[in-house]
Structure 1
């Protein structure tokens, strides 16, 4: 159904290249558009490095072309996925610039982590062909893509995007309301807010916070989601626990002071060598390598289960 489709990815950064890779590996023609020559020049090298890390053939690179010609990249596309930086103004300008070249049958998607899709397409008449697609990093290893229904989303556009993503091996989830952060990041950052608040209030060290998560409920999450867990322990017990704990859980509407102070001091995490934790280059790379190996093992396990 989708083998003869043409997918255009706007943006040749890590996310854009990773998204393009997902389609190319399934023998779908992909065009990567970027206005920056340096980004275009390194795009295929990034994808080749990803393929090498996965012990995969480089043959899929033949399904990818990279261009700086916006009109040619857009006019022949069945699907357009924008993967520009997470800045509202940048995304709005991209979709305003490409609008004259987009066919009315093309499904147009923005890859954003938290920005409401309605804000990105505000004032632009894309009729019913818009959806949000929130891919997770790295997109070729994390299965989830949140497909966000917005004001300019037809049921057909949502369903077709979900079918395309299923075809290329992803796990799409229909997000029925266009809320900031969608579903995954709302839950993830609710956890981060509480974790940082516990550090801010002197309840636990940063290292202790991570040990608690990794050695308790974090172990269950790959096989037991929060709603399954609530039903497992019983909603009566869940209600009793919530009656005790919810009043004391952090509900600040602004970031914690400890986080604001660290950013103001330039302690940004691994990229600066210090955040909540001190990071050497080797220690930071070890975390990245462990994460990628874990995700790769999980992907291999899913693929074996699918074969059986």
Structure 2
């Protein structure tokens, strides 16, 4: 039987409102809090839009989501607190000190950071809180992407690690256990290794940014939903994989800093879709269409 939880989500922005939606859809009473009144107020509209896009009745789900502007009040009765604030280490450290003081001492404390080591986030906490701290890295959009990486530190109690995994599994997510608290965990290390090489190819004049996207989407990207990289390596044979690596590895980008091209684009104010230009140029309609197409693709994948 699925447990009934009282969940608090700290941060109602890009990830937070989607995470709250998942718990509320599964029947859990969920409190959503944010320091910005505007962000908090807008969360209901975003959730309603998501649910309508997924063809889920929104009224029942929204009744389970409670908006609260006070952090201490929001977490005071929670069994599970998930932090989904901006990717700033000092902010997350401060938040967890406040959360640990206000939440029940039995509550699981989880961070949705995508790259910051969980150990670093909890380094100023007392041991009783550090034992209950775990990483839960959801993927954007969190209400549609199944994977959640559950990250243990050297302090995380085994019972907390296992219970968090089970809670996510009961939600219908696909949790995986990350046993070593490395920056970026699993998925982002893989993803950004590819991004580094993709940006390098453009920077070196091998091709343009649009070609990178075409190559990925029209070749190995088509296989990825059913054939992971380890499966693919075994499929083609490790002799071939090793031979390819001997030729290609010496020429791959191994930079330890962000690409100079990326830094230059940012200095010129080209931050991506929201500014109309990044690695590619975007109109507002094109950017909106990408988001719409992604959502519909993920919804269809979840239904199949």
User: Normalising by structure 2, what TM-score?
Assistant: 0.96
Q: Which residue of 2 aligns with 1:304?
A: none
2:97–2:124 CA contact under 8 A, matched in 1: no
Q: Which residue of 2 aligns with 1:183?
A: 186
CA distance in 2, matches of 1:181, 1:131: 14
1:117–1:132 CA contact under 8 A, matched in 2: yes
Alignment of 1:1-308 (within 5 A): 1-58=1-58, 59-125=60-126, 126-301=129-304
CA distance in 2, matches of 1:36, 1:274: 28
CA distance in 2, matches of 1:181, 1:148: 10
2:93–2:124 CA contact under 8 A, matched in 1: no
1:71 shift after superposition: 2.7
**Corresponding pairs, count:** 301
> SS at the partner of 1:202?
coil
CA distance in 2, matches of 1:196, 1:88: 26
1:113 shift after superposition: 0.7
> SS at the partner of 2:172?
coil
The answer for unaligned runs of 5 or more in structure 1 is 302-308
Q: Which residue of 2 aligns with 1:305?
A: none
> SS at the partner of 2:185?
coil
1:236 shift after superposition: 1.3
1:2 shift after superposition: 4.2
Q: Which stretch has the larger CA shift, 183-192 or 31-40? A: 31-40
For each residue in 1:266-296, what CA deviation from the matched residue of structure 2 results, as whole angstroms up to 9, or x when unmatched? 1111111111212111111121111111111
Q: Which stretch has the larger CA shift, 198-207 or 68-77? A: 68-77
CA distance in 1, matches of 2:228, 2:196: 20
Alpha-carbon spacing, 1:3–1:147, altered in 2? closer, same or farther (3 Å): same
Alpha-carbon spacing, 1:9–1:230, altered in 2? closer, same or farther (3 Å): same
1:102 shift after superposition: 2.4
Runs of 4+ residues over 3 Å off in structure 1: none
1:218 shift after superposition: 0.7
CA distance in 2, matches of 1:134, 1:86: 12
1:209 shift after superposition: 1.2
> SS at the partner of 1:96?
helix
For each residue in 1:223-262, what CA deviation from the matched residue of structure 2 results, as whole angstroms up to 9, or x when unmatched? 1000000111111111111111111111010122211111
CA distance in 2, matches of 1:152, 1:186: 23
